[in-house]
Structure 1
Amino acid sequence: MNATASDTHDRPLGVLVGFDGSEHAQHALAYAAAEAERRGVTLTVATASIVPTMFYATMGSLAIPADTEIAKNAAEGILDEARAKLTEHRGDVKYLAEIGDAAGVLVELSHQAELAVVGTRGRGGFTGRVLGSVSVALASHAHCPTIVVNERLNADGPVTVAVEGSHLNEDVLAQATAIAASRGATLDIVTALPPFEEVTFWYPDAALDVDLVGVRQGQIEEDLAAHAEAIRAKNPGLEVASGVEVGSAQSLLAARTRSSQLTVLGTRGRGAVASVLLGSVSRSVLFHAEGPVMIVPTGEQAA
């Protein structure tokens, strides 16, 4: 999947990866490097250091060199670790040592990237708890799709894309389709259909009939099959599967991350949480994922 001349001009950073030298960051670096090669674009490795707030009693006690220079040197040292890992990378590489909060730096840089990649957790400015604060912030606020990578990879699995019934988000589906095509992977389009007693907007007829779940499932499966056929027609040779499963979207999609080489979701969905920057389903899948997850900006964030 090669970037067009326009894409390269508008997004000169290509594939942007946040790197802090941690084990998770090293997984993200390798993943980003492979993706940059597939796309034929620049790989941009960025790190960030925060200048500590210090109190000096006298002018004579000021740090030499200055705190900003110390932080910059620390960032450059981290980038040297990345350079050592990329000696066999085929393609252009750009290294950025920035001063500031890691999440804020990466979000700002994402304006110029076509894809951002980050590990689930890191050290220093990238450190978080179960899922790093930088990973969540970048997935929530990035101006390009973000892939959150952990150590578990399944290179032979499908590229799974989660959609809400027949209401497909074209940006999310396009990203998943392009990646599946570039990797020679199966594109698996899946909808998680909530049980009748949980959510009512899935059932427009709203009759108190348990058979309505099966009816609605059949309707969505037909719609997805039609979309799958349209994708096959535009992408000869691409294997496309589709299906509907009844159950919690969070649980079903998190389980799919175990067998998928990539699971693709939008930042937000419909329903009561549509206004949340990172929807409850996407956030939950990120926290429980056992494989790489791509979050694609949707709504106003995608503009």
Structure 2
Amino acid sequence: MSRTDYLTLGFDDSPGARTALRWALDEAGRTGAVLRLAFVLDAPAVPALMPYPIGWPDQAAMDVAVAVLDGVAEAAARSHPGVAITRAVLKGAPARVLEDLSRTSRLLVLGSHGHGGFTGMLLGSTGVSVSAHAHCPVVVVRREADPRGQVAVGLDGSPASRSALRFAVRAAVSRGVPLHAIRVWAPPAPLWQPPGFDPDAVLAAELAALGKDLAAYPEPQITAEVVAGHPAGVLVSAARHAQLVVVGSRGHGGFTGMLLGSVSQHLLHHAPCPVAVVREPAPSTPDVDH
């Protein structure tokens, strides 16, 4: 099956995973994707002096995971009868397994908190690794958002942000809602401002650059703004009026190092709506129609 067919959900039956499940079902229903439920069984945490649990996960653990996914799939078939669902119970480190599954996914969806193999996924190395290295866009669902809200996208003119813009446009069109595009620039401190520094001229240049990025998209309805400030705070504020906020994995200007630095961590921790992280596709990778 090609990568355009699967919407993969990392699922562990935690409350966070259940919230992400509802989002993923709605998204699969909108886009016609096959929802793949992936339950990853990792070794449980044990004290350093205790022996490693040999043979984990055992057949009993596998049977429990299969039963959980069977129940989820049956309930989903009733609530979303048009969505095709597949199930997979897998062994290994969650980050590595999910990154591998992303190779055959159009989208990878994660909840913000879990248990078992997904414990602390967003707050530790697993969530950062998945978002940084997945081969498809990753959506992290912290909480459910108002479906009437707009889609917001952070732009800085980098290739990654242009990929984010394409994703955001498709998301807004599929939902029938407006798109709000935001470009952030950080004014230099007064001590470091060059002679003749003109913030109005900088603002005009930023607006022109943003308009150029948006010119290729006659749909959906797009509003745009250039904001002087810190990207983390600006995007979290925009997310309060959004049902989805989209960012590129890496950029320049105000978004430099966003994925692995403080901005992305702040957004993933504090955005009041789902967050999509979109990597720039490799040159040999076709643009995913989503």
TM-score of the pair, normalised by structure 2: 0.84
Match of 1:269 in 2: 251
Match of 1:224 in 2: 210
Contact 1:268 1:282 in 2 (8 A): no
What amino acid does structure 1 have at the position aligned with 2:236?
A
Distance 1:180-1:258 versus aligned 2 partners, 3 A rule: same
Match of 2:288 in 1: none
Distance 1:272-1:189 versus aligned 2 partners, 3 A rule: closer
Deviations 1:140-182 (A, max 9, x none): 2211001100224121121111111587733211111111111
Q: Residue 24 of structure 1 is aligned with which of 6, 16, 27?
A: 16
Match of 2:102 in 1: 110
Please give the secondary structure, in 2, of the residue aligned with 1:218: helix
Distance 1:221 1:249 in 2: 16
Distance 2:208 2:284 in 1: 28
Contact 1:166 1:224 in 2 (8 A): no
1:294 aligns with 2:284: no
How much has 1:229 moved relative to structure 2? Answer: 3.7
136-145 or 109-118, larger mean C-alpha shift: 136-145
What are the ranges of 5 or more consecutive residues in structure 1 without an aligned counterpart? 1-8, 57-61, 201-205
How much has 1:70 moved relative to structure 2? Answer: 2.7
How much has 1:14 moved relative to structure 2? Answer: 1.4
Distance 2:141 2:122 in 1: 13
Match of 2:184 in 1: 192
Q: Residue 101 of structure 1 is aligned with which of 87, 93, 105?
A: 93
Distance 2:214 2:11 in 1: 37
Match of 1:140 in 2: 132
How much has 1:256 moved relative to structure 2? Answer: 1.4
How much has 1:134 moved relative to structure 2? Answer: 3.9
In the TM superposition, 1:1-303 aligns within 5 A as: 9-11=1-3, 14-51=6-43, 67-88=57-78, 89=80, 90-128=82-120, 131=123, 133-165=125-157, 169-197=161-189, 207-209=194-196, 212-232=198-218, 235=219, 238-270=220-252, 278-298=260-280
TM-score of the pair, normalised by structure 1: 0.81
Distance 2:73 2:245 in 1: 29
Please give the secondary structure, in 1, of the residue aligned with 2:63: helix
What amino acid does structure 2 have at the position aligned with 1:85?
A
Deviations 1:26-72 (A, max 9, x none): 1101111111111112011111112458859xxxxx98xx8532332
- What is the percent sequence identity of the aligned residues? 31
Contact 1:164 1:191 in 2 (8 A): yes
Aligned length: 278
Contact 1:254 1:289 in 2 (8 A): yes
Distance 1:132-1:156 versus aligned 2 partners, 3 A rule: farther
Contact 1:19 1:46 in 2 (8 A): yes
Distance 1:299-1:87 versus aligned 2 partners, 3 A rule: closer
Over the residues paired in the alignment, what is the CA RMSD in angstroms? 3.1
Please give the secondary structure, in 1, of the residue aligned with 2:140: strand
Contact 1:157 1:259 in 2 (8 A): yes
Distance 1:159-1:46 versus aligned 2 partners, 3 A rule: same
Deviations 1:111-163 (A, max 9, x none): 00000111111111111177365433321221100110022412112111111
Distance 1:192 1:97 in 2: 42
Distance 1:189-1:80 versus aligned 2 partners, 3 A rule: same
Distance 1:189-1:168 versus aligned 2 partners, 3 A rule: farther
Distance 1:275-1:264 versus aligned 2 partners, 3 A rule: closer
Distance 1:227 1:271 in 2: 15
Greater relative CO, 1 or 2 (CA 8 Å, sep 6+): 2
